[in-house]
């Protein structure tokens, strides 16, 4: 797949009309993978002729362990780590080894991943994003990228049609505002939390920007945040579900999130039959420098089986539930564990009449749920949330854990925001 094809498909393609069309398309891509990519990877070469079910299940830790043998560019793990760590200390976002960009992913769990890509792979990303989201090609687009990950070589992808400005989330947020105001982006790409802060700054007239496209990446976009951002900027917020491992999904023109099945084969590791919640096992059909094959992500996705008005048959997602580790479980009367969707917690907060501006929850085992609240009337909010959660527990036939309330949420821009956290 070349960048032009990817661009044209994203810009003018109507998506796949049926599941059969997806299967057919993927079958061809698998042939290419088996013939041209896998034989160049010492780790995967022995599996090139074997069925998918025989391929090893990959994850972040295994990928790190076998990095040297997995990549097709002959880069050793030691060499890649050295370059990535040095450049990270120097906040240089363009570490290269023989035209291959290397970087370390952050990851909320502390476990870090090593990733390598060549120029064509990075261009595919830009082609996909621009094809789908660029407002127009009649004028030069100015793209603002707020990201915490390093290995940001996107600025180098700039050309006559487009310029990229990178905003490093490890630097102070306020220092970015003037530059952003000067840049006047036409396309704004940032994690949901940062979009929320930018909307706030715009509302308070600290900045005055008029992006024509806003894309939320890297963390869960709640309906409340989405509304707040859309109200301030007056346009729809689109979502791109991506991680270092690739672009897993994006919103369609009807505003619904679809998995990116044109470029990824996605198997489901079902963790909750009732909702269909699953952890995706991805096989990226475009990567060549570092094959991502049968790679299990730690995310939990909730499928939406309704066909989308846009006509594309790629699987729709109701939402990205969060990380596997952050799924809450409450005990039922018969002693089994019941998965509690983060949406249920969100609703308990959203329906409080006191008006809760922000919250965090941390659950310890199944016994204790700690809740941090920001509300005008804190006491009243605690009482309402307790009532709401108790009602939710009854509705799912589970026992409500002990609740403990706190005020004062500590915000860190450089960390992924997780509103719901589970601890063992």
User: Taking the complex as a whole, how short is the minimal distance between the CB of residue 255 and Zn ion, in angstroms?
Assistant: 8
Shorter beta-carbon distance to Zn ion: residue 213 or 312: 312
User: Taking the complex as a whole, how short is the minimal distance between the CB of residue 287 and Zn ion, in angstroms?
Assistant: 25
Q: Name every residue whose Cβ is closer than 8 Å to that of residue 124 and which is 6 or more positions away in sequence.
A: 1, 3, 6, 286
User: Taking the complex as a whole, how short is the minimal distance between the CB of residue 267 and Zn ion, in angstroms?
Assistant: 21
Q: Say if residues 199 and 228 touch (Cβ distance below 8 Å).
A: yes
Shorter beta-carbon distance to Zn ion: residue 42 or 255: 255
Shorter beta-carbon distance to Zn ion: residue 161 or 254: 254
User: Taking the complex as a whole, how short is the minimal distance between the CB of residue 120 and Zn ion, in angstroms?
Assistant: 28
User: Taking the complex as a whole, how short is the minimal distance between the CB of residue 251 and Zn ion, in angstroms?
Assistant: 8
Shorter beta-carbon distance to Zn ion: residue 236 or 423: 236
User: Taking the complex as a whole, how short is the minimal distance between the CB of residue 256 and Zn ion, in angstroms?
Assistant: 4
User: Taking the complex as a whole, how short is the minimal distance between the CB of residue 209 and Zn ion, in angstroms?
Assistant: 28
Kindly state the greatest CA–CA separation across the chain: 64
Task: Using DSSP bridges, classify how beta strands 337-340 and 328-331 pair: parallel, antiparallel or unpaired.
Answer: antiparallel
**Chain residues in the site for Zn ion (CB under 5 A):** 252, 254, 256, 308, 310
User: Taking the complex as a whole, how short is the minimal distance between the CB of residue 24 and Zn ion, in angstroms?
Assistant: 20
3-state SS, one letter per residue, for the chain: CCHHHHHHHHHHCCCCCCHHHHHHHHHHHHHHHHHHHHHHCCCCHHHCCCCHHHCCCECHHHHHHCHHHHCCCCCCHHHHHHHHHHHHHCCCCCCEECCEEEEEECCCCCCCEEEEECHHHHHHHHHHHHHHHCCCCCCCEEEEEEECCCCCCHHHHCECCEEEEEEECCCCHHHHHHHHHHHCCCEEEEEHHHHHHHHHHHHCCCCCCCCCEEEEECCCCCHHHHHHHHHHHCCCEEEEEEECCEEEEEECCCCCEEECCCCEEEEEEEEECCCCEEEEEEEECCCCCCCCCCEECCEEEEEECCCCCCCCCCCEEEEEEEEHHHCEEEEECCCCEEEECHHHHHHHHHCCCCCEEEEEEEEECCCEEEEEEEECCHHHHHHHHHHHHHHHHHHCCECCCEEEEEECCCCCCCCCCCCEEEEC
Shorter beta-carbon distance to Zn ion: residue 19 or 28: 19
User: Taking the complex as a whole, how short is the minimal distance between the CB of residue 212 and Zn ion, in angstroms?
Assistant: 21
Shorter beta-carbon distance to Zn ion: residue 74 or 223: 223
Shorter beta-carbon distance to Zn ion: residue 117 or 256: 256
Shorter beta-carbon distance to Zn ion: residue 258 or 419: 258
Shorter beta-carbon distance to Zn ion: residue 190 or 237: 237
User: Taking the complex as a whole, how short is the minimal distance between the CB of residue 124 and Zn ion, in angstroms?
Assistant: 21
For residue 269, which phi and psi values (nearest 5 degrees)? Answer: -100, 95
Shorter beta-carbon distance to Zn ion: residue 63 or 250: 250
């Amino acid at each position: 797949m070349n960048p032009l094809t990817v661009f044209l498909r994203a810009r003018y393609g109507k998506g796949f009309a049926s599941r059969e069309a997806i299967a057919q398309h993927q079958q061809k891509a698998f042939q290419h993978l088996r013939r041209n990519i896998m034989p160049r990877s010492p780790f995967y070469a022995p599996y090139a002729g074997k069925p998918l079910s025989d391929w090893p299940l990959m994850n972040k830790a295994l990928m790190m362990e076998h990095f040297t043998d997995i990549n097709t560019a002959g880069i050793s793990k030691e060499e890649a780590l050295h370059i990535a760590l040095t450049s990270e200390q120097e906040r240089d976002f363009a570490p290269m080894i023989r035209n291959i960009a290397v970087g370390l992913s952050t990851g909320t769990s502390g476990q870090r991943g090593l990733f390598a890509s060549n120029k064509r792979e990075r261009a595919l990303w830009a082609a996909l994003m621009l094809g789908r989201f660029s407002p127009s090609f009649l004028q030069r687009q100015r793209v603002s990228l707020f990201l915490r990950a390093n290995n940001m070589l996107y600025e180098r992808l700039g050309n006559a049609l487009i310029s990229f400005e990178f905003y490093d989330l490890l630097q102070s947020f306020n220092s970015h505002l003037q530059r952003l105001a000067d840049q006047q982006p036409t396309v704004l790409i940032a994690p949901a939390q940062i979009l929320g802060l930018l909307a706030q700054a715009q509302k308070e007239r600290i900045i005055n920007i008029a992006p024509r496209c806003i894309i939320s990446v890297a963390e869960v976009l709640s309906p409340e945040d989405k509304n707040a951002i859309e109200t301030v900027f007056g346009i729809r917020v689109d979502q791109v579900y991506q991680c270092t491992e690739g672009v897993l999904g994006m919103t369609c023109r009807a505003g619904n999130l679809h998995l990116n099945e044109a470029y990824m084969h996605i198997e489901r590791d079902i963790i909750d039959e009732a909702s269909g919640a699953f952890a995706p096992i991805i096989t990226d059909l475009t990567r060549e420098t570092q094959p991502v094959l049968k790679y299990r992500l730690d995310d939990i996705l909730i499928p939406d089986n309704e066909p989308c008005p846009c006509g594309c048959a790629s699987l729709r997602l109701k939402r990205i539930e969060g990380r596997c580790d952050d799924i809450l479980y409450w005990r039922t009367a018969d002693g089994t564990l019941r998965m509690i969707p983060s949406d249920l917690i969100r609703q308990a907060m959203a329906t409080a009449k006191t008006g809760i501006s922000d919250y965090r929850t941390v659950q310890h085992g199944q016994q204790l749920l700690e809740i941090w609240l920001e509300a005008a009337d804190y006491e009243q909010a605690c009482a309402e949330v307790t009532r709401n959660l108790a009602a939710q527990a009854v509705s799912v036939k589970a026992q409500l854990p002990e609740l403990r309330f706190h005020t004062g949420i500590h915000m860190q821009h450089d960390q992924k925001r997780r509103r719901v956290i589970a601890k063992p």
